[in-house]
Structure 1
Amino acid sequence: MRKLLLIIAALSAVVMLATDYCSAAKAKNKVPEAKSITYPDLEKDPGFFFILAEQAELAGDTEGVVRNLKKALQLDPGSSYLYTRVGNVLARNRKIADSLIMTRISVLLEPTNDEAFTLLGKIFTVTGDRHKAIEEYSRALELKPDERELYVFIGSLQVSQRLFPEAEKTFTKMTKQFPDEKEGFFYLGRVFVEGKKFDEAIETFESLLDKGVENPAQVHTELGGIYLLMNKHAKAEEHFRESVELDPTNVTSRLNLGQALASQKKYAEAYQVFEDLSKLAPSNLGIQIKMAMILAEQKQYDTAIEILQKILLTKPGWDQVRFQLGRVLKEQGKLDDSEKEFIQIRKGQPTFLHSRIILGLMFLKVKDYGKALRYVDEAIDTDVKEPDLFHIKGSILEELNRYTEALVMYDKALELDPTNVRIRYSKGNALEKSGRRQQALVEMERIIVEKPDDASALNFVGYTLAVGGKDLGRAEKLVRKALELKPDDGYIMDSLAWVLYKSGKTDEALDLLLKAIEKVQTDPILAEHLGDVLLEKKRGSEAVEAYKKSLQLNPENIVVQEKLKKLEKESAAKK
């Protein structure tokens, strides 16, 4: 084709020279009329129409481009290059189906046409068939391994498909192909982050800093983001500060610096960062929201609420602001006002689901089970399947002693998240309450096998064994381990006290129970246990007071009622 273009150009030059020569001769009247010259028939030359197509493209005449390229193809139907050109023009004009046909013909004519395979990759990217796009780009890359953009196309598509190991291989190849260039390492670092290989990501980005990059501020931003994900907020702060120092206009680093400071409870510094940002970008309401939430963390609720309400005056439909306002009011203890804000968030808005989860938990905590169920059911009645919703509904039903229904909810939650230990623990608890103690024990034993440091499961198994009077040695070992993991947990203290009581170690049991009741003063079971231990130590009058306390907290406990009646009869008989 290039030879053809040169021939056409040469012919054009000959024509121009001949014309000039004839004109000059006539002017001087020295040379007779030139003989007629026979020119090539350009209408039969594909290169002629190719040039016309180029001119039409420069003039913005898309139809002219396609028309002339198709004429060229009629004259040279075996040209893979021309088919690719037509495919490109059609693709740019969104005639994707026609473009796909032309480009496929191109690769059939010339299986080594890397440009055609690249175009196929772009077409399949547009149509959303990312797997085919990756295949076509990969074929192009095999033919042209020094094409940087192909690595980026393939790797980015693999990341979008969450094919992180494959993307890692792609960008690793890129770094090997171009070891002195930074782009591949940057993409590789981001793939490590997406795949949660944080150590490898840190190593990759730090190597970029060692190599020297044109924009080190961006690398520090990436490193700060990784440390935020790892909850290493001090290290994150260090990198974000470095980024801001290198590039004071880097808004992302400033925002993340404020977040890192807030996560370390350095609220004054965080607020200052956001306040400075708000002066630079006064129209950025997101910064004002962050300032409000920092004030809320410092329990400056009224000021936080005032900021959020001002934002809502200008953007009343902004559900995220209303969501944060509802959260602040809840933290302030204004549950009715919080509810009023949350219920204005309608189904379909981004924060709807979480608003209903908060409402469900909020009313579960204050034992308003009717409202708790209503709001959780509103969230369940959506297309979103969230295990936490079924978990919360199960917890509400469990509080209402509707154990069979609660277990159904826990099973639905586990269908969505089978390995969730919290949900499995709740299921075990409900099984125990419904009288299926052995099934509950089996479930908790499984949790311990999979997660040996789960304090709740250790405590449950140990306490259950003690209640049944079985394997008290193992029961004590399990509960002591749970207490090591949570040394200030009053309920675990109570469990260990009960194990010790069952083992005949009443003095130790009593000391531990008294400490447990200091931590948890409103639990009827702890008060009952105290009564049992005091009774064992022949301190009947004190036991009576403990049982009375238990009944104040739970008047319907028939077992404690019977224990108290028996003691009162014995006391009356002695008199």
Structure 2
Amino acid sequence: MISESPLKSFLKVLTLSVCTTTVQIIGQGAGVQNEQNTVESLLPEDKGSPVVIDSTDTSGNPAKAQAHFAAGVSWEAQGQAGKALESFRLSLEEDPSNTRLAVQVAEKLISLREIELAYQTLLPATRQETAPGKAFELLGLIQMSRGEEATSLASFQQALERDPSLILSRQRVIDVHLRNGKERPAFRMIQEALEATSNQVDEVTLLIGMYLRYVSMRPDRLQDLGSQLESLIAKSSEIAKEQPALKLSISDLLMLQERFEDAEKMLKDLKDVQPPVPLVSEKLVDLFLRTGKKDMAILELGELTRENSENPRPYFLLGSLKAGDGDSAEAEKHYRKAMDIRPEFEPPYYELAAMKLNEGEAREALEVLQQAREHFSDQFILEFYSGLAMSALRRYEPSLGFLRQAESIAEKQEPERLTGFFYFRVGSVLERLGKFKEAEVEFLKCLDRAPDDATTLNYLGYMWAEQGVKLDQAHEWIMKAHELEPESEAILDSMGWVLYQKGKPAEALPFLEKAKEKLTEPDPTILDHLADVYEALGETGKAEEAWKQSLEIEFNERVFKKWRILKDQGETKS
């Protein structure tokens, strides 16, 4: 018997994974580096530092270069971009071999969105022996924005060779290693990061963000990094006295280490800081939820809605809390409030759609997802949930189309989305379409990722048993599923059915009778299988009664024919 995997817990995890953590749902945590689409968003804040003059360089005119650069900064501050660009160009002409000047000019060009000019400035600079690591880092960021992964990786690696303290370069190399399955070099780079980084506040903040990002991507490594994270907490705490943004990042580390009391004290202290520190209340909400203090979380959320009624995130989280309590009506009200406030805020659409799917309201889920399509496109969850909704409505062809589109998006953007559960859903839709060979391929992908998934083992084994093919392998896999979930009525039925298909009705009978006993409500498929076994064992009266019960639950032409033949035979004999 085929049983579908339960959607509820999976959909909840999947939807929240859009945002990774509650903190990121509410707002970005200080220091956490996220993927961005623009080069300028990746640069640290411009402190307006003066041009660095290389006193060992005698080939240019450093003083004039500095004057032109300072003029460019002044023109930029006045909004005179054209004049600023000309001044920066003149500064490079006066001191063309000053690679540190080239870096500063490139940073200014990027801030002015003159990315190509920045690129042309950095290329000759990186060819010089004196080029600092920062020059390669900026070059790598530009190459990354162009989609040149191989060349950007090489640039980031060059940057780290010259300056191991460059956090952005280290993070990008780690990201590439993880995408390519190179776990060991990625972990080694994480381990080396703490010693390589200075005690500058900005660098330590970025370092915390890098560790948080890595752990969110590889949570199984958290325990291996325990001592380093404690050292990072100590290192950052030493310089955080008058640095509220850094303290905010430290609170993330404390929560990661489950030092909740310390994190709560730090966040409550930050609430008293003036001017107010962004995200403090949001992080307190996260902490209260993680420590089971739901009432305190709701109070914080209420305070957030009063402080800023145009912020959709507190309403979204209130919706999630109500959904968790089973209060669907209140949850939907909060989700829709968040959607009304900011239609381009994605998570409430997906949470509401997931809730509708879990409640069996597939049409309503599709309506919510259609609303989302008015604002978003090329989103994995949007396509995946649409596929699930269509499948629930037994519209398998459009379901398959949405699932394939989701797969295409994930392959390009988020390959980690392609889990065993995803391939199980694709396989089940293909099986319903009668495309058994294609379904088998998808189920095997699922088992490659989750070899002990009892639902998939049972589904594929039962599919083979139904077709009367690969019966030995079907029996083996259904037995493995039975070992994993010995009380599942669906798997008990499959065990009985594959044994019957192998010509062993006597061995099949106990499994099918136990499957029937375990049901809270009669199942027509199990009764049909039981009748087949009874008939094979010569117990025609029991077979006729089981088929009759099956038909009373759900009419099936094939079952009716078997029952009619058996009934007619009995009448003929009498």
Give the TM-score normalised by the residue count of structure 1.
0.67
Alignment map for 1:378-393 (pairs within 5 Å): 378-393=371-386
1:194 is the counterpart of 2:183? no
Is the contact between residue 372 and residue 396 of structure 1 (CA under 8 Å) also seen in structure 2?
A: yes
Q: Which residue of the partner structure matches residue 253 of structure 2?
A: 256
Does the residue aligned with 2:448 lie in a helix, a strand or coil?
Answer: coil
TM-fit CA distance, 1:518: 7.4
1:139 is the counterpart of 2:134? no
Is the contact between residue 277 and residue 287 of structure 1 (CA under 8 Å) also seen in structure 2?
A: no
Specify whether residues 485 and 508 from structure 1 end up closer, same or farther in structure 2 by C-alpha distance, changes over 3 A only.
same
Give the distance between the partners of 1:177 and 1:408, measured in 2 at CA.
Answer: 49
Residue among 202, 219, 228 paired with 1:231: 219
Specify whether residues 302 and 569 from structure 1 end up closer, same or farther in structure 2 by C-alpha distance, changes over 3 A only.
farther
- The structure whose RCO (Cα within 8 Å, separation 6+) is larger is 2
Is the contact between residue 494 and residue 512 of structure 1 (CA under 8 Å) also seen in structure 2?
A: yes
Identity in percent? 19
TM-fit CA distance, 1:80: 10
1:343 is the counterpart of 2:323? no
Q: Which residue of the partner structure matches residue 376 of structure 1?
A: 369
Residue among 304, 316, 326 paired with 2:319: 326
1:285 is the counterpart of 2:300? no
Specify whether residues 98 and 315 from structure 1 end up closer, same or farther in structure 2 by C-alpha distance, changes over 3 A only.
closer
TM-fit CA distance, 1:502: 0.5
Is the contact between residue 443 and residue 460 of structure 2 (CA under 8 Å) also seen in structure 1?
A: no
Residue 286 of structure 1 aligns with an amino acid whose one-letter code is: E
TM-fit CA distance, 1:136: 1.6
Of the structure 1 ranges 467-476 and 563-572, higher mean CA displacement relative to structure 2 is found in 563-572
Q: Which residue of the partner structure matches residue 409 of structure 1?
A: 402
Q: Which residue of the partner structure matches residue 135 of structure 2?
A: 150
Does the residue aligned with 1:367 lie in a helix, a strand or coil?
Answer: coil
Give the distance between the partners of 2:561 and 2:302, measured in 1 at CA.
Answer: 56
TM-fit CA distance, 1:482: 5.8
TM-fit CA distance, 1:89: 1.4
Specify whether residues 273 and 471 from structure 1 end up closer, same or farther in structure 2 by C-alpha distance, changes over 3 A only.
same
Specify whether residues 123 and 209 from structure 1 end up closer, same or farther in structure 2 by C-alpha distance, changes over 3 A only.
closer
Residue 254 of structure 1 aligns with an amino acid whose one-letter code is: S
Specify whether residues 328 and 541 from structure 1 end up closer, same or farther in structure 2 by C-alpha distance, changes over 3 A only.
farther
TM-fit CA distance, 1:568: 6.6
Give the TM-score normalised by the residue count of structure 2.
0.68
Alignment map for 1:54-73 (pairs within 5 Å): none
Does the residue aligned with 1:344 lie in a helix, a strand or coil?
Answer: helix
Residue 142 of structure 1 aligns with an amino acid whose one-letter code is: R
1:471 is the counterpart of 2:470? yes
Of the structure 1 ranges 466-475 and 562-571, higher mean CA displacement relative to structure 2 is found in 562-571
Deviations along 1:208-251, one digit per CA (max 9) or x if unpaired, are: 55689658987688556534431124345554444445555544
Deviations along 1:384-431, one digit per CA (max 9) or x if unpaired, are: 332332332233233333334334433443443467465554344334
Give the distance between the partners of 1:281 and 1:546, measured in 2 at CA.
Answer: 69
Does the residue aligned with 2:342 lie in a helix, a strand or coil?
Answer: coil
Deviations along 1:101-143, one digit per CA (max 9) or x if unpaired, are: 5655776788656577446523531243445524422312434
Residue 89 of structure 1 aligns with an amino acid whose one-letter code is: A
Alignment map for 1:174-189 (pairs within 5 Å): 174-177=159-162, 183-184=165-166, 186=167, 188-189=169-170
TM-fit CA distance, 1:504: 1.8
1:204 is the counterpart of 2:189? yes
Residue 322 of structure 2 aligns with an amino acid whose one-letter code is: L
Give structure 1 stretches of 5+ with no counterpart.
1-77, 262-268
Deviations along 1:502-548, one digit per CA (max 9) or x if unpaired, are: 01233443444456567775654344434433443445566567557
Instruction: Provide the aligned C-alpha RMSD in A.
Output: 4.4
Q: Which residue of the partner structure matches residue 63 of structure 1?
A: none
Give the distance between the partners of 2:448 and 2:480, measured in 1 at CA.
Answer: 10
TM-fit CA distance, 1:469: 1.6
Give the distance between the partners of 1:82 and 1:217, measured in 2 at CA.
Answer: 35
Does the residue aligned with 1:375 lie in a helix, a strand or coil?
Answer: helix
Residue among 348, 354, 357 paired with 1:355: 348
Does the residue aligned with 1:145 lie in a helix, a strand or coil?
Answer: coil
